[in-house]
Amino acid sequence: MPERASHRITTELMSQPHVRDHRISVRQIHALVEAGDTDPETVADRYDLDVADVYHALAYYHDHPREMRDIERTREEAVSTFRASIDRPDGISPDTA
């Protein structure tokens, strides 16, 4: 993947696409807007973004479905590995804590 994907979306930080000069990722913006029912203007306001940044992130998400699936799969595997590595007292599980 190119280091500079667009003038608003980049992969120079955290090895996944995010809004240039911000830490919020394309995946996070997608989750907030399309999976979390937060309107783009609210996301822009909360994260000090231009509304155009939010729409560019959403466009990037939909223009690169394979890349976004790979990122989500990698994230899910990392979370699963981390959860499995936690040393919990006997009888305690994440579902009962």
CATH number at residue 58: 1.10.10
User: Is the model's pTM score more than 0.95?
Assistant: no
Dump pLDDT digits (tens) for 65-76.
Answer: 999 999 999 989
Q: Does residue 72 lie in a domain region?
A: yes
List, for residues 19-58, the tens digit of each pLDDT value.
998 999 999 999 999 988 899 999 999 999 999 999 999 9
Indicate if the pLDDT at residue 60 is higher than 80: yes
Asked if the structure places residue 2 within a domain, the reply is no
Within a domain: residue 40? yes
Please tell me the number of Cα atoms within 13 Å of 65 on its side-chain side.
1
- Tokens encoding 23: 């830490």
- Domain membership of residue 78 (yes or no) is yes
Q: Where are the beta strands (DSSP E) in the chain?
A: 9-10, 18-19
End-to-end Cα spacing for the chain: 40
In a domain, 47, yes or no: yes
Residue 90 lies in a domain: no
**pLDDT reading at 8 higher than 80:** yes
> Structural domain of residue 59, as residue ranges?
9-84
- Give which of 58, 3, 63 is closest to 28, Cα–Cα: 58
How many structural domains compose the chain? 1
- The structure tokens listed for 38 are 């937060």
Specify the residue for token string 């000090």. Answer: 48
Domain-located, residue 33: yes
d(CA 70, CA 78): 12
